[in-house]
């Protein structure tokens, strides 16, 4: 399970965009987005860096990832 802090998420479209970005790396990943807290939890067998890169490529800066 990865926990990321993702900036610039403000609405349901942002949730969909971030979720779809993660699913481009791992279609089976479980993604949970907390808009208010700017947190994204990802349960995936994929490595963290490609997931982080996909979110950044979608236009959402990742400021913390563990």
Q: For 42-65, how does the pLDDT look when each residue is reduced to its tens digit (9 = 90+)? A: 999 999 999 999 999 999 999 999
Which residue in this structure is represented by tokens 């996909």? 54
Continuous segment of H or E residues that includes residue 62: strand 62-65
SS3 content of the chain, % helix, strand, coil (to 5): 35, 30, 35
Domain 2-65 listed as CATH 3.30.70.100:
yes
Q: What sections of 1-60 are H helices per DSSP? A: 12-25, 48-57
Output the pLDDT for position 60: 97
Cα–Cα distance for residue pair 20/29, rounded to 1 Å: 10
Mean pLDDT, rounded, for 11-27 = 97
Output the pLDDT for position 10: 94
């Amino acid at each position: 399970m990865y926990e990321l802090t993702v900036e610039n998420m403000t609405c349901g479209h942002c949730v969909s965009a971030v979720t779809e970005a993660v699913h481009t790396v791992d279609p089976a990943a479980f993604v949970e987005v907390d808009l208010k807290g700017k947190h994204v939890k990802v349960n995936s067998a994929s490595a963290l860096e490609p997931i982080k890169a996909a979110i950044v490529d979608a236009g959402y800066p990742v400021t913390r990832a563990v």
